Amino acid sequence: MLRFDDVSKSYGSRLVLQRRTGRFAPGAYALRGPNGIGKSTLLRVLAGVDEADGGDIVIDGHSLRAQPAAAKARLAYAPDECPVYPFVTGHELLAFVAWAKGCAIPDKVTRIVERFGLARHLDTRCGAMSLGTQKKLMLAAAWIGEPAVLLLDEPSNGLDADARAVLADLLAAQRDTSVVFMSTHDKAFADAIGAAEIEFETLTDR
C-alpha cells in the first residue's frame, strides 16, 4: 500500500533524506529516530507537500510523481503543526477537505469529531484554536475520503489523555485496512496502537 524507493530530499545544500526506501502493507508503523534526523521531512515528501529530489513513491498503487491526484486521493496527512488558513473555521476546513477529495464528510468523521469533543470548536477559526484542538481537527480531517495510507506526524502531541485514548483506539481499528505510518517519540502511544517500531536509519536498501 505504501512503497518508496531511493527517496532523497535536500533543501539548498543541506541533504536531509538520502535514498530512503520502505515498503509497508496495511498495519501501524511508528517511525522512530532522534530529533532532526528527517522524520517530518520524510512524511512531508511522502504526502506530496514537498517534492522529492529523486526516487519513487507509490500510494495504494498510484505513483505520487506520475499520478499525484490519484495518489493523494488515497492518502491522509496530519502534520505536527496546523499550517492551514488561520481565519477559516473548523467546519469550513472539513468542508474544504471533503471538496478536495470529492466526497461528503462521512458519518465516521462526525463521530470522530464528537469523540474528540471537537464539535463545540468547529465554529472557531483555526488560528484561535488551542494546539490540541488544532491537532484534533487535523486528525479528524484525516478520516475524510477513506484513506489507504495515513501519514501522521507526532499525532499524540498536544492531545489530552482522553483524546489520546480515542486516537489510539481509532488508529488500532484503522491499521487492519490501511497503512498508519507515523512518527512518534511516544512509546506508550505506539504500543497502545500495536504499532511496529521502525528505526529511521533502517529505511534503506542495504
Partner 1 sequence: MQRDQVAGGPFMAFAGSLPFTPRQRRRADLAVLLLADSPLLVVTACALGLTAGRGAPAAHAVLLADVALLALAAQQAVLERRAGAWPGVAAGAVLAGAAFGTRLDLAASLLVGAAAACALVMQPRPRAQRRIPRPRARRASPPAPGGRRGAALQMSLAVLLRERRGELLATCLTAAAIAAAAVGLVVLFERDARSFPTVLLAEGAVALAFSGLFRGLHRAHRASMGYLGALPLAAAWWRPYDLAAVLAAALPFLAALTACAWTIGAAPAHALAALASNAALLCALRTPQLISDRHAVVLTTIAAGCWTAGTFACLL
CB 15 to partner 1: min, Å = 21
- Find, among 100, 101, 86, the residue nearest to 134 by Cα: 86
DSSP string, 148-175: SEEEEESTTTT--HHHHHHHHHHHHHHT
Our CB check for partner 1 shows the closer of 138 and 203 to be: 138
Task: Yes or no: say if 44 and 117 are a contact pair by the CB < 8 Å rule.
Answer: no
Q: Which residues, in sequence order, are bridge partners of residue 20? A: 7
Our CB check for partner 1 shows the closer of 24 and 96 to be: 96
CB 9 to partner 1: min, Å = 14
In angstroms, the CA 150 to CA 146 distance is 10
Name the site residues for partner 1 (rule: CB under 8 A): 44, 47-50, 68-73, 75-77, 79, 81-88, 90-92, 94-105, 109-110, 113-114, 119-120, 122-123, 125, 138, 151
CB 11 to partner 1: min, Å = 14
CB 187 to partner 1: min, Å = 26
Our CB check for partner 1 shows the closer of 163 and 194 to be: 163
Q: Which residue has the cell 477529495?
A: 101
In angstroms, the CA 38 to CA 201 distance is 10
Helices 161-174 and 107-115: crossing angle, nearest 10°? 150
CB 147 to partner 1: min, Å = 10
CB 148 to partner 1: min, Å = 13
Measured over the CA atoms of residue 132, residue 138, residue 144 and residue 150, the dihedral's sign is: negative
Write out the three cell numbers for 179.
Answer: 497503512
